[in-house]
Every structure is written in structure tokens, then in C-alpha cells.
A = this chain, B = another copy of it.
Amino acid sequence: MNYTDSGKTISHRAVALARGPAVAEPDVDAPFEVLREAGVPVRVHAVREGAAVFRAGERLSDLHLVASGVHKVMVVTRDGREKVLALRLRGDWLGFDGIAEGRHVCDAIAIEPGEVWSVRYDALLEASVDRPEVAALIHRAMGHEIAGDRDSMMALYTLPADARVAKFLAGWLDSLSHRGMHTDRITLKLTRAEIGNHLGMTLETVSRAFSRLVRENVIRFVEGHHREVHVPDVEALRRFVHSAMVPEAATVH
């Protein structure tokens, strides 16, 4: 294990207190409830910034439910290039990539201090037997990951660079609002290079895209900070994405 502190099994009452922010849509918290009610043994781990929850090549022993923080899922190729595949927040699972082969194929790294609930995969399978809601939970989470990857993929090589960045922001806003967090001012946890890597473009292009979004009054940066984004009108942002999606279909009657 490569967490900061050794996880120990603690009472579910206690971990229930170790929650994230106050207001959130029910389905974000649902997995926590299900695990608690089903009495599945959970170990809570704090993960410090930059630490790995797991790394490619390690045997899959646990699945991890993100309780707080932001985690990036990435692969690194033999020649050292990295690729950020996804960002995961509270309520998302980490580790499904390892189920097929019994071994992880990605790294999961915290990009801010966070906390995960780790559940032994075999314990989860066992619990699934007499707790259908646990089985359903995992299925839905995996299905979600499959369907989600779909349209992020779709977006990625359909949209031009500017719109791709805009969509990234819009998606981030969705994630936050879905978890009951403020969406007017957001703090990017990633450098331009990392964003670019995630979106399949260079850091310069990301920078230019941001500049363009500012010029078009779709976003604004907080005075002097390149990471503090203010989005006055989420709809405007979304419109920006859509306008780029259908280059001239709009002019066709």
C-alpha cells in the first residue's frame, strides 16, 4: 500500500462523519450508504497530494470509493509519456480497470489531499451474494464508467481545441454542482500541461483556448491567478461548446 497512513477498519458510524461537503445530490452519497448498511468492511485511507492509491502493475486487491479530494487516473507508457484518462471525485470508484486481468493497468493519483474508502474486491463479491443492492451498486458504477468514457471519447476527437477546453470546464462544473458545491468560481487543480495531456493537446493550445474564452467573455480569471476561473454564465459556456459542435449545421435550414 502506498497511502500516507495505514488504514484500519473502523466503525461505520465513525466513517459516516468523515464526509465531504454539506449538500449533495442523493446518488453521490448512495454508495456510502449502501456499503454501510450492507456492513461491508471498509478501510478509510487518507491520501496526501501526489500519493498513489494504486499503480499500474499492482495486483488488484481493493476497489476504492472516493470520499473526498480529486484523483487523476492515468497511464504511463514505457517511454515515460503520461496520459491523464479521467478525474474522479467523491462518489466515484477507482480500480475497475484491474478487474479484467486482476492487475491494475492505470495509476490513480490524488491531485489534492483526499480520502478513499477501500473495500476488498472479494469482500465486495461476497457481499453481493446476499445483498443485491451491493451488486447493483457496483454494476451501475461500472456501467457509468463505460458510458461516461464513451462520450468523453466522443467529445474529445470531435471538438476543436477551444470547445474541448470549454467542455472540460463545463464537465467540471457539472461534477461540482452535482456534488452540491459552488460553481461560480472554480479552482483548476491541474497545470495547463496536465489539462492539455488530458484533452489531447499541447499546453500552448490550452493556454490559447483559455485566452479565447476570456476574450469571448465566457469565463474570467481571478486577478493574477491562472487557476481561479470565474464562470458568470454556465449556459453561455455550454452554448460555446455546442456552437463549435455543429460548425454549419446551424446555417442549414
Contact = CB atoms under 8 A, between A and B. Distances in A.
Contacts of A249: 79
Given A106-B150, A125-B139, 10 more contacts: A77-B245, A79-B246, A101-B143, A128-B135, A129-B129, A129-B130, A139-B142, A142-B146, A146-B146, A156-B157
Interface stretch (A10-18, A91-99, A222-230): A91-99
Interface in A158-185: 158
A168 B85 CA distance: 20
Contacts of A135: 125, 128, 135
Given A125-B132, A157-B156, A158-B83, A99 B150 contact: no
A146 B139 CA distance: 12
B157 A157 contact: yes
Given A132-B129, A150-B105, A154-B83, A97 B246 contact: no
B147 A149 contact: no
Interface in A118-150: 125, 128-130, 132, 135-136, 138-150
Given A85-B153, A200-B157, A100 B132 contact: no
A142 B96 contact: yes
B132 A97 contact: no
B151 A149 contact: no
A91 to B, nearest CB: 13
Contacts of A40: none
A75 interface: yes
B154 A99 contact: no
A100 B96 CA distance: 15
Contacts of A83: 154, 158
Nearest to A199: B157
A75 B143 contact: no
Contact of A143 (B99, B148, B151, B153): B99
Contact of A144 (B100, B139, B147): B100
A100 B150 contact: no
Contacts of A138: 139
A131 B81 CA distance: 42
A110 to B, nearest CB: 20
Contact of A97 (B98, B99, B147): B147
A66 B246 CA distance: 35
